[in-house]
A = this chain, B = another copy of it.
């Protein structure tokens, strides 16, 4: 069955209509459910969905908007929660038989914050096995023969085709930005620690939570409403900046980051980025590269081992609880995870310390660019979503943001042969708001008319 062309649906764009009584959260939910009816049988973005409860919550929100008393700017917004994050009213299964049917009986910090703000938890979205590599069947809404990317597969697929205006994802390597690029959605991977991960099963030293969303405004406002209520991770400042979407800001200087992915990137993808750079430069913004900027050259060099170091750190940090699950029942872990675990168990604390130091060095090189470049840009992926559902695609362009603990945006700006590809913008640590300002300017400049 041929699917229609996917179309994102912004909730924030409707706020004025909600306030004026021309539209309601109940009607918005109906539009999401219509998209779900169209796409979900093919795409499979959800592992669990609660339609009746959502309708009831939407009606309550509609009443609040009518009374002029919405709880927040996301009151009534239907959201999806990556199934790595706990929810009181739905199972949390982490994409693994280990957690089949498991219920934590509590909301994660971010989920509770969303509810406090009036958002509607419509369902749990598919994640790969423990947010690692093994895919769980979700298809790309732009072409069901292709992967939606992973590990936030369901969140990106659902947002990309307007089943939801926003969904929570997580990223430790490439898990949020890559599927956002493949599915044609905005993705926001915040500064490490900026959104409270309490009650999520990804306590890793590079992992961050963020929204995949229909627009920049939906992404920013969802993230801010969560951070205002739940804070960040313990010991980290929560996401900050203006309450509203940061004003569009023309950058003075932008750095082009090739990353180790450049040599393997698709020709059309490179051409799309080259075209974007031409327009950026044409608007009077200086674009620096490794050939003319020593700081970028150093960072590019240090990023060469970013993938190896990131995977090694994450694998070591994942030994527990995977070893506990394996000791209980190895049959419930994929052979991929069992092999990765066995490798990681050979590492020593001294190995880990050396890798941590290496990452610290790369982060220092990135921090040194903060006052010099308003953002770094690169591709969202080496090309459009590849065919096949086994692999979730190449993470190479997405590693830098998590490795550096830096905020990054996927901007769904390119189309190649009818499939989306993102432009990625990486900001300085704790300057997430500035990155959104530049992101808005990039959208204004580069959106095809």
Contacts and interface: CB of A to CB of B under 8 A. Distances in A.
Copies of this polypeptide in the complex: 2
A338 interface: no
Interface string A302-334: 000000000000001101110111011000000
A125 to B, nearest CB: 21
Interface stretch (A34-42, A197-205, A418-426): A197-205
Contacts of A83: none
Interface stretch (A235-243, A270-278, A409-417): A235-243
Contacts of A319: 230-231
Given A198-B203, A325-B106, A235 B112 contact: no
Given A324-B88, A353-B240, A205 B234 contact: yes
Interface string A102-128: 000111110010000000000000000
A56 to B, nearest CB: 18
A107 B324 CA distance: 6
- Of A205, A321, A327, most buried by chain B (CB within 10 Å of CB) is A321
A227 interface: yes
26 contacts: A105-B328, A106-B325, A106-B328, A107-B324, A109-B321, A112-B320, A112-B323, A112-B324, A196-B320, A199-B320, A203-B203, A204-B234, A205-B234, A205-B235, A230-B319, A230-B320, A231-B317, A231-B319, A231-B349, A234-B317, A235-B317, A235-B356, A237-B352, A238-B352, A239-B349, A240-B350
Contacts of A203: 198, 203, 234
A187 interface: no
Interface in A234-258: 234-235, 237-240
A25 interface: no
Contacts of A394: none
A232 B323 contact: no
A88 B325 CA distance: 10
Given A203-B203, A234-B317, 17 more contacts: A88-B324, A88-B328, A105-B328, A106-B324, A109-B320, A112-B320, A112-B324, A112-B327, A198-B203, A199-B321, A204-B234, A228-B349, A231-B349, A237-B349, A237-B352, A237-B353, A238-B352
A321 B198 contact: yes
- Of A112, A320, A321, A323, most buried by chain B (CB within 10 Å of CB) is A320
Contacts of A350: 240
Interface in A349-387: 349-350, 352-353, 356
Contact of A232 (B199, B231, B349): B349
A310 to B, nearest CB: 12
A231 B328 contact: no
A227 B320 CA distance: 12
A240 B320 CA distance: 19
